[in-house]
Amino acid sequence: MNGPERIEDFEGDWHLTRAIDDRLAGQVLRAEGVATLRRGDGQFVYDEEVALHIPGQQTLRGTRRYLWRPAPGRIAIHFEDGRFFHNLTLGQSASEDHHDCAPDSYDAAYDFARWPCWSVRWSVSGPRKSYEMRTEFSPR
């Protein structure tokens, strides 16, 4: 298998670990938590809950939600409010996409070479942003 073939392949609970290399702050933040992908009204809802560890600070709790919508050969990922975010191509061992949010730029690189374990790396740049965020997912 080259990677996930259908949006349903992601359905369920995932353990996640995350490292955020903040080049501007000169520190690495770490997070761990759970991501869940559930069916809902013609799409899937991705919910994430993490504990974020920032050096020298108290642990913070965070959540995020995205809407994953099936499309031919891909998944169209949208923000919770319905705005389009980026595409994830199915049936390949890797998928890349770009998202502009002026003045910032976001580049995603998904890696499915060890499916069902997988990862996504975001490289983010802008006038006040310069970081790389890598998230590893494994079945829960």
Q: Flag whether 2 is in a domain.
A: no
Contacts of 6-9 with CB under 8 Å at 24 or more apart are: 6/70, 6/90, 7/44, 7/68, 7/70, 7/75, 7/90, 9/116
Give residue 3's pLDDT. 87
CA–CA distances in Å: residue 88 to residues 26, 44, 97, 111? 30, 14, 7, 11
Residue 129's domain comprises 7-139
**Domain total of the chain:** 1
Q: Flag whether 126 is in a domain.
A: yes
Give residue 41's pLDDT. 86
Global confidence as pTM: 0.94
Segment 21-36 mean pLDDT: 97
Q: Flag whether 28 is in a domain.
A: yes
Pairing state between β 12-22 and 27-40: antiparallel
Q: Tell me the C-alpha distance between 56 and 106, whole Å.
A: 28
Q: Flag whether 1 is in a domain.
A: no
Segment 124-128 mean pLDDT: 95
> With 80 as the cut, is the pLDDT of residue 50 above it?
yes
Q: Which DSSP symbol is given to 140?
A: -
Give residue 1's pLDDT. 56
- Residue pLDDT, tens place only, 53-75: 999 999 999 999 999 999 999 99
- Residue pLDDT, tens place only, 68-114: 999 999 999 999 999 999 999 999 999 999 999 999 999 999 999 99
* Contact between residue 106 and residue 98 where contact means Cβ atoms under 8 Å apart: yes
Q: What is the CATH classification number for the domain harbouring 32?
A: 2.40.128.20
Burial class (CB in 10 A: 0-12, 13-18, 19+), 63: exposed
Q: Flag whether 104 is in a domain.
A: yes
2 in helix, strand or coil? coil
Q: Flag whether 112 is in a domain.
A: yes
